[in-house]
Structure 1
Amino acid sequence: MGDIMSRECIRTPERALSARFVETVTEPGKYFDGQGLFLRVAKNGARQWVQRIVIRGKRTELGLGSPPAVSLATARKLALENRGKAMLGGDPLAEKRAAKAKSLTFAECVNAYAEAKLPEFRSEKHRKQWLSALERLALPVLGQIRVQDIGTKDVLRMLEPHWRERTITAKKLRGQVEAVLTWATVAGHREGDNPAAWRGNLKELLPAPGKVAKAQHHPALALGDAAVWWAALAKRDGMAAQALQFLTLTCARSGEVRGMTWDEIELDRSANSTNSVGVWTVPASRMKNGREHRVPLTAEAIALLDRLPRLECSPYVFFAPRGGMLSDMSISAVMRRMQEAKVRLEEPGYLDPASKRPAVPHGLRSTFRQWAAEHGYPRDMAEIALAHFIGSEVERAYQRSDMLERRRDMMTAWAAFLRGEAKVDGNVVKLGAAG
């Protein structure tokens, strides 16, 4: 009898459940709250809200969903609503069955979720990226299944073909599917545990991502090829080629350069033109880390900007033929054509030293990072130049300076390196790589 009482855990209103208890309980059993509501914990740790209720003289049990998708407060609200309907002669069980028959398909839930949640994303590009994996990898498998009928085996069937070969993509995809199904549960289109949940579910069936994921680094330009590559780039015409030059000089990301507008640039020409000082301030809304970033502009970067034409109807520094923003592919295409030109000459071209893959624009940031390390620049200064977070949150709170002027000197030396030059004892010396 004592064992039965401990598992039933009957609670008076004064001993009702708490949100903390619901979050942490693992012992199998039934935990009563009041109004016929109780939390059922299975042996495998799965939890479900259940309500015992009398409907038209017949005692029955109603499932009300599972934590954490359905919180204690929500479960209480649903139980109270069901009790009220039953007291007035209604049939909440019949209503639930009717709603289940109208359950949305996964594809319909993706559309509804996107309409509700995607406005939170920073840009149209991020919204498209979020939907892309779902459309390519999830919808062909899950799209026409009603969300109420989706089980763990269905999610596994969708994930397994990609889990080992495209682990990072598959990991993100699992989280997206879980988010959509959580929304479907809270919105009343399904009930029960989330079949895309990781802990206590898929974690037991799939290898840990960290054990199977292959590092997916962007191919970088070898330091020994930098001066030759830079000289070849300087001979190329076109807005995309100039954007790639600016990207290299500033070590910025492609999206930051392509979205750059003239009002983000401040130039001080109080001295002569060769000593102009400039700062490019990238607003937080366009930064990956969501924080404003200042970029010191070297003489080479300012000279490049001065050579650029301006389009009266476009705010962009590097504009597309019709005045809009350059596409990401346009900058990548410049590097691809440079590589193809080398291959036509039966030369290896500009390959990443480790992967032997052709270098790409984003990999230039790794090239700069290696150069900075080998030339003794402080780690924090190089990381700030790349707009990376440095240290812990506490350390960042105390690190108020962005080392702008010190970074200007570093970027000037980086530009000299790209030209095949280096400073030795205060003198500029031409390096052999550019010859």
Structure 2
Amino acid sequence: MTHDGIRRPQKALTARFVETVTEPGKHFDGHGLFLRVRPNGGKQWVQRITIRGKRSEIGLGSPPAVSLALARKLALDNRGKAMLGGDPLAERRKAAAGLTFDAAVDTYLAAKLDEFRNEKHRKQWRSTLNTYASPVLGSKLVSEITVQDILRVLEPIWQTKTETAKRLRGRIENVLSWATVAGHRKGDNPARWKGNLSEILPKPSKVATGGNQPALALGDAVGWWAALSSRDGMAAKALQFLTLTAARSGEVRGMTWDEIDFGIKSAIRTTPVATPATSATWTVPASRMKGGREHRVALTPDAVAILENLPRMDDSPLVFFAPRGGMLSDMSISAVMRRMQESEVKAGRAGYLDPRSKRPAVPHGLRSTFRQWAAEQGYPRDMAEIALAHFIGSDVERAYQRSDMLERRRVMMAAWSAFLRGE
């Protein structure tokens, strides 16, 4: 008898066995609970149980999302219901109707987020699901989500944001495993990697490039900017603003009007490299910054012009908003660059490729393009790094470096804007 008062057979399963077993078949734990291992390596918890005199099997999800301890607890709960005359199988079937992926995420995270000690980790969990999964899966019933649906989420970022895509896949798998255990869906988990997505997508280790995102070649920047400037739509305007400020996608997409100080514009617009002609500043709060520290961005006249010509949505503080309201998705901005690349290829040209990897440039790679330009123009390293909101030097150096060089950066960003225009 174990500490929880439940009898186990002498050869009950162990957590280590569940993690490493590859032999196909049924591996029993006791009290009707067993682990089914398929020839393709997939694993599923199954419980044999008698409900009102009829023998049935109930799927309890798959490891590692459902651990051995959790599978035992779920099996015990089902046995208790059955012994009291209930029907846990019928309850699951009733619960299966009508649960969307977004609703499943909300319910799952309400129970699971407290397990994460790190506040940043909690935010990342929800943020990645909201940004990448929800636009594709959000309104779909979890019972209807297929492998093809998962691929629609992952394929656009599998090559360019491999680490994010890996984490996203695991998080979707966990949500759908919970949905299976709770009776909202049946069968294999379409987000499972081994023996499933692993047969379709390349291994992350084969496509990851050490975190380097494909950048736009400096020689292509002027032509690319002209092509982008001819495009309409909120996502295209957001991409323009992102380029002019060298900001991250999430910082731009989450920007609100109260973060912007339009300052005082000069009555005469002189050469932008010498006189930026505006004191406009965008202040990104620490809560929205990757480094958890407030960041000021010097806005050029071109950046201000984009903002001044944007429509505003009633009852929404967002500067760049989605067609149906709410924040733009990261995919919508990436899609603009993808369509620009497709247009080039269709016209018989190579398009906008990273000079090293020869992969199509992506929004985040524009920061690298800016950094290369700043270095070649001779701007101080620290000033360029501050513009990118990177941490500079050691803790001691940062303690003494109180200035963020805002006005010097204003001139640099005006020169960057002029370079993009071909001046």
TM-score between the two structures when normalised by the length of structure 1: 0.53
CA distance in 1, matches of 2:404, 2:32: 64
Q: Distance in 2 between matches of 1:192 and 1:349?
A: 44
Q: Give the Cα–Cα distance (whole angstroms) in 2 for the partners of residues 306 and 390 of structure 1.
A: 30
**1:133 paired to 2:128:** no
Q: Select the residue among 93, 110, 122 that pairs with 2:101.
A: 110
Counterpart in 2 of 1:365?
Answer: 367
What is the aligned counterpart of 1:82 among 72, 79, 82? 79
Contact map agreement 1:383 1:389 (CA 8 A) in 2: yes
Asked whether 1:181 is paired with 2:180, we answer: no
Q: Does 1:264 align with 2:256?
A: no
Q: 1 CA distance for matches of 2:36 and 2:231?
A: 67
- CA–CA distance in structure 2, aligned partners of residues 77 and 397 of structure 1: 52
Counterpart in the other structure of 1:210: 204
Aligned to 1:197, the other structure's residue is in SS state coil
Structure 2: where are the runs of 5+ without partners? 22-26, 111-121, 269-274
Alpha-carbon distance in structure 2 between the residues aligned to 1:238 and 1:194: 37
Alignment CA distance shift 1:244-1:174 (3 Å):
closer
TM superposition shift of 1:406: 3.9
- The 2-side partners of 1:240 and 1:165 are apart by 16
Equivalent runs, 1:297-312 vs 2, <5 Å:
297=298, 300=300, 304=304, 308=308
Paired residue secondary structure (1:25): helix
Equivalent residue, structure 1, for 2:113: none
Higher relative contact order (CA 8 A, sep 6+): 2
Could you tell me which residue of structure 2 aligns to residue 150 of structure 1?
none
Structure 1 counterpart SS, 2:136: helix
Unaligned runs of 5+ in 1: 1-9, 146-153, 422-432
Query: Compared with structure 1, are the counterparts of its residues 291 and 13 closer, same or farther at alpha carbon in structure 2 (3 Å cutoff)?
Result: closer
Q: How far did residue 65 of structure 1 move?
A: 1.9
The equivalent residue for 1:252 is 247
CA separation of 1:103 and 1:204: change in aligned 2, threshold 3 A: same
Residue 411 of structure 2 corresponds to 412
Does the CA contact (< 8 Å) of 2:374 and 2:384 recur in 1?
yes
Match of 1:294 in 2: 295
46 and 404 in structure 1: CA distance in 2 versus 1, 3 angstrom threshold? same
Q: CA deviation at 1:79?
A: 1.6
The root-mean-square deviation of aligned C-alpha atoms, in Å, is 6.7
**Corresponding residue of 2:282:** 280
Shift of 1:189: 3.7
Native 8 Å contact 2:244 2:303 kept in 1: no
Aligned-pair distance for 1:217? Answer: 8.7
Q: Which residue of 184, 208, 223 corresponds with 2:218?
A: 223
Q: Secondary structure at the match of 1:113?
A: helix
**SS in structure 1 opposite 2:404?**
helix
AA in 2 matched with 1:251: A
Secondary structure of the equivalent of 1:82? Answer: helix
For 1:110 and 1:360, the matched residues in 2 are separated by: 28
8 Å CA contact retained: 1:121, 1:127: no
- Among the aligned pairs, what percent are the same residue? 35
Change (3 A) 1:400 1:194: farther
Q: CA deviation at 1:166?
A: 7.4
Q: Is the 1:11–1:31 Cα contact (8 Å) retained in structure 2? A: no
Query: Deviation of residue 72 (structure 1)?
Result: 2.4
What is the Cα deviation at residue 82 of structure 1? Answer: 2.5
Distance (whole Å) between structure 2 residues aligned to residue 317 and residue 159 of structure 1: 29
- The question of whether the paired residues in 1 share the 8 Å contact of 2:253 and 2:327 is answered with yes
Match of 1:386 in 2: 388
**Equivalent AA in structure 1 for residue 176 of structure 2:** L
Distance 1:285 1:365 in 2: 21
State the SS of the aligned residue for 1:371. helix
Contact kept? 1:259, 1:316, Cα under 8 Å:
no
- What is the CA-CA distance between 1:281 and the residue it aligns to? 1.5
60, 63, 69: which one pairs with 1:65? 60
Match of 1:148 in 2: none
| Cα gap change, 1:296 to 1:290, in 2 (>3 Å) | closer
Equivalents in 1 of 2:35, 2:225: separation in Å? Answer: 66
2:16 corresponding residue in structure 1 = 24
The question of whether the paired residues in 2 share the 8 Å contact of 1:222 and 1:353 is answered with yes
2:102·2:137 contact (CA, 8 Å) conserved in 1?
A: no
What does the per-residue CA deviation read over 1:383-425, in whole Å, with 9 as the maximum and x for residues that have no partner?
A: 553346899xxx889966887534653552343355469xxxx
Report the secondary structure of 1:415's partner residue.
helix
- Write the distance in 2 (CA, Å) between the matches of 1:204 and 1:317: 38
User: Match of 2:66, SS?
Assistant: coil
